[in-house]
A and B are shown apart, each in its own frame.
Chain A
Amino acid sequence: MYGFLIAIGVVLLLSVIWMVYRIQSLISVAKGSDKKIETTSNKVNAFLFVVFLVGTFGLMTWYSIKEFSNYQLPIASVHGEVTDKLFWITMAVTGFIFILTHILLFWFPYKYQYKADRRAAYYPDNNKLEVIWTLVPAVVLALLVISGWRAWTDITDPAPDGAHQVELMGYQFAWEIRYPGKDDILGDFDYRLINASNSRGIDFSDQNSIDDFPSQSVVIPKGEPVIFKIRARDVLHSVFAPHMRLKMDAVPGMPTRFWFIPTKTTAEMRVELGDDEFEYEIACTEVCGSGHFSMRKVITVVEPEEYRKWYNDQKTFVDSNPSLVLDLPLDDKGLARTSNE
């Protein structure tokens, strides 16, 4: 019944619009105003550009200020401070140009709307102006690009010696984490060794693998360099840690990496934000299938002493599942034992 009434309403509404449309076009033909150029609608449209300018700038300013703390994510890494500063410098420069050009773009239509008694200026070129507005953007862009380039080279330089390693492996649809253990060296891996008990394909015949251990979340120390060693098992994924301003694709067959220095522990950030449940998160930003949106992993940043304690308390793969080394040649097993003691 309701559907029927709504349908009738819609039909009535459409026919009213239709009538209005026909009447106004017939009137304009009768009045001969369809031949005129300096019409009311020309004036109205010219005025609407100014209304649009004022209205949307008001809206933009209001929302940008009101929501600042929501869209400006807190920063928790050293390089994040740098890239965010660059972001806001670029925002200031482009914002200025954005506002200036839009004021001109929407004010000119009002100011220079059609008048039958006026003539447009014949002004086909001016080389001086052209040169100015080629050079000024070029210089400004060069400055932005050079500061960006310096930040970029710092960020992508090799990690400092002794950076804490964490391996992140992406697969459909989660991340698996591995730490190098006491020797600080991640053992080899080979995708052909992957099976139910060895989901990462770790090569346990490599001595360095024996003390490697897994973790449910990424635990890293505050104030010390950390390097993420990133790989993928099936399709492309991308590690995105928004608070760390960190992003790097995980590519099957091509390990990638990203190093950074966290600046605030999870606990500190909880106090700062007044949110007891706050966690640093990792998301996937390269489309990887139906579960792309749900590859959440938590990063826990702790004080360095706490990190070392936690690190030493972890149980290695081999300890949790000795069968991993059962089928290896004898001497490898022997070495495995000794290195564990």
Chain B
Amino acid sequence: MSVANVSAHGVSAHDEHHDHEHKDSFITKYIFTQDHKMIGKQFLITGMFWALIGGFLSILFRIQLGFPEMNLEFLKPLLGGWITETGQLDPNFYLALVTMHGTIMVFFVLTAGLSGTFSNFLIPLQIGARDMASGFMNMLSYWFFFTSGVIMFISLFLERGPASGGWVVYPPLSALEQAMPGSGLGMTLWLISMTFFIASSLLGGINYITTVINLRTKGMSFSRLPLTIWAFFLTAVIGLLSFPVLFSAALLLVFDRSFGTSFYLSDIYIGGEALPNTGGSAVLYQHLFWFLGHPEVYIVLLPALGITSEVIATNSRKPIFGYKAMIISMLGITILSFVVWAHHMFVSGLNPFLGSIFMFLTLIIAVPSAVKVFNYLTTLWRGNLRFTTAMMFSIGLVSFFISGGLTGIFLGNSAIDIQLHDTYFVVAHFHLVMGSASFFGLMAGVYHWFPKMFGRMMDEKLGAIHFWLTFVGVYMVFFPMHYIGIAGFPRRYYSWSTYSFTDMYTDLNMFVSVAAFITFAAQFIFLFNFFYSMYRGRIASLNPWQSNTLEWTTPLHPKHGNWPGEIPSVYRWPYDYSKPGAKEDFIPQTIPLYATPESNLPHEEKLIKLEKEIIAEEEQVLVANEYKES
């Protein structure tokens, strides 16, 4: 009885399995696929497309903010009527740009692109499952997302422009067509698109939860799940509980817009007439929106933190420090994320007493976040660090998480928030802690799992250049915004020259814009690296990062079903790196404890008996299967 014996079984089963494989057509393999790996790639490519669009929109408004005097005639072929006769950007279009940038980045890139990609790709591979619980629902989830994207994309080309009331689309501005051009058809399409998006998220989320609970391989208890899976699981739970509330908020907004109800509207005189609506509350919408909106921050952040945990542990050649504390922190964040939403509304006219409650709850959520940071630092401490591109992006993520997280302590304090609310300080805060941190998690994930996705390696040198340009660039863009914010510059402003208190920092705004252009340009290095390596990169080895998790036990190009033979069983947690006594500095989860007597800890010796029973049981199953097949 040895390891070699077990794997020999695997090989023989492999051959038999091959005979049953049937060829997929192009459509069932690449388009309406039900293979979680291909769906993950679909989410990734679509997310990258949207990241380019969203990034490009931000370049357009950074031109306006950094170079307000510039003649923009040269953009006329692209933007047409949105460039005025004097060569200036139309103020309405400026608002449309910031709105679409926010919507696209938060929902399409960092929710679908991050969670959609890696939950789909990694959950079955890391827990040892053939596929998601429902491949069909998974496919629907992508195509709902795709439809939602098509609708949003169309809205960019409307004559009156896309939705422009900020990504939060507060009524009455978003409810009344008279209030701004973007509140017409553009807003209608926004609502339809978001409806599809919510449906997509729910279909995906239900699937992720079900899969994690039901389809774990033998031995993969919850206490042996990689932190990535924990993060995806909790993210899906948050999404499942909060997205329906956004749906109801949107639905009531549809009623107010189209069917004359007054959920959010009251006492309005606009466009020379008094509207009949009374008794509604604009603040109600804000409550409903932020009941999703705040958990949404964690929906984009938790998967990034999960990926980082995995990447940092692997490349530090050390177990993640405080595995249990990490899980408890994530659970804490999950629960608390539902009870802090009104800190976005301290000066909305909210009852000040309610404000105090939310201030207390908000600052509590900083504690688990702090614990996570300290645990990352301790994982690096006395490690043996390999600076793969994924590792560097993960370290960058921790840096952003600290910088942006600490400014949250200012904003969560309602007394300080009075001054800082809706200034550039907030812009700096959330772009660092949720935007850039999650984006870096996404990048870390792509660089780390690219070999598993495409069987080839990305170029590490180009990766390093991409990382340093982006890391420095992001800080050069968002760090100066703290100064601008403390000086009181309000966000979503088309121009600063109206006020004397904001009639300064033209140099700093220009600097930020230039940094943004460079950072955006640097992303093309990544795009080149990604697509070039997909076809021409070096062929990857089976376990290029010498990692412990299950996905690296699959063949280089896993077919639908992931493992050719039996699904491997799991005998240990995923973080046995540099275990004293072991020959290598990593022990994959599939290596039984009895095979590593030299490195077992005292409490693990006791588990060996249990393990042997499991293996014996497995043998029986194998024999039974062979009997059935012959």
Q: A residues bordering B, Cβ < 8 Å?
A: 21, 24-25, 29, 34, 37, 41-42, 45-46, 48-49, 52, 56, 60, 63-64, 67, 70-73, 80, 82-84, 86-87, 90-91, 93-94, 97-98, 101-102, 104-106, 108-109, 112-115, 118-126, 129-130, 133-134, 137-138, 141-142, 144-145, 148-149, 151-153, 155-156, 171-172, 191-192, 194, 201, 233-236, 238, 240, 242-243, 245-249, 251-254, 256, 277-279, 281, 283-294, 296
Residue from A104, A120, A172 having most chain B Cβ neighbours under 10 A: A120
The distance in angstroms between the C-alpha atoms of A90 and B319, with both chains bound, is 34
Among listed B43-51, B303-311, B488-496, B604-612, interface-contacting one: B488-496
- 8 Å CB interface, B376-407 against A: 377-378, 380-387, 392, 395, 398-399, 402-403, 406-407
A156–B381 CB distance below 8 A: no
The distance in angstroms between the C-alpha atoms of A150 and B347, with both chains bound, is 17
Which one of B403, B416, B421 contacts A86 once the chains associate, using CB atoms below 8 Å? B416
A122–B580 CB distance below 8 A: yes
A63–B483 CB distance below 8 A: yes
A86–B413 CB distance below 8 A: yes
The interface residues of chain A lying within 8 Å CB-to-CB of B487 are: 70-73
Sample (12) of A-B pairs whose CB atoms are under 8 Å apart: A21-B462, A41-B387, A71-B483, A73-B488, A87-B419, A119-B317, A148-B359, A152-B356, A153-B356, A240-B422, A285-B490, A285-B491
A137–B505 CB distance below 8 A: no
A148–B172 CB distance below 8 A: no
A290–B385 CB distance below 8 A: no
The distance in angstroms between the C-alpha atoms of A194 and B395, with both chains bound, is 58
B472–A284 CB distance below 8 A: no
CB distance from B432 to the nearest CB of A (A): 12
The distance in angstroms between the C-alpha atoms of A192 and B267, with both chains bound, is 8
B282–A251 CB distance below 8 A: yes
B577–A120 CB distance below 8 A: yes
B172–A235 CB distance below 8 A: yes
The interface residues of chain B lying within 8 Å CB-to-CB of A113 are: 385, 387
B274–A236 CB distance below 8 A: no
B385–A249 CB distance below 8 A: no
The distance in angstroms between the C-alpha atoms of A247 and B577, with both chains bound, is 53
| Nearest chain B residue, comparing its CB with the CB of A254 | B349
The distance in angstroms between the C-alpha atoms of A126 and B377, with both chains bound, is 14
Which one of A172, A248, A292 contacts B270 once the chains associate, using CB atoms below 8 Å? A172
The verdict on A121 contacting B378 (CB below 8 Å), with A42-B387, A283-B490 known, is no
> Counting CB contacts under 8 A, is B170 at the interface?
yes
B384–A112 CB distance below 8 A: yes
The interface residues of chain B lying within 8 Å CB-to-CB of A86 are: 413, 415-416
B419–A247 CB distance below 8 A: yes
A123–B378 CB distance below 8 A: yes
The interface residues of chain A lying within 8 Å CB-to-CB of B274 are: 191-192, 194
CB distance from B235 to the nearest CB of A (A): 23
Q: What is the 8 Å Cβ interface bit string for chain B, positions 404-428, against chain A (1 contact, 0 not)?
A: 0011011001111011011100000
Q: What is the 8 Å Cβ interface bit string for chain B, positions 80-122, against chain A (1 contact, 0 not)?
A: 0000000000111001000000000000000000000000000
Which one of A70, A104, A130 contacts B377 once the chains associate, using CB atoms below 8 Å? A104
Which one of A37, A98, A240, A289 contacts B180 once the chains associate, using CB atoms below 8 Å? A289
B387–A151 CB distance below 8 A: no
The interface residues of chain A lying within 8 Å CB-to-CB of B324 are: 125
Which one of B355, B492, B495, B575 contacts A152 once the chains associate, using CB atoms below 8 Å? B355
A145–B418 CB distance below 8 A: no
Among listed B187-195, B214-222, B367-375, interface-contacting one: B367-375
- 8 Å CB interface, B462-516 against A: 462, 464, 468, 471-472, 475, 479, 483-484, 486-488, 490-496, 498-502, 504-505
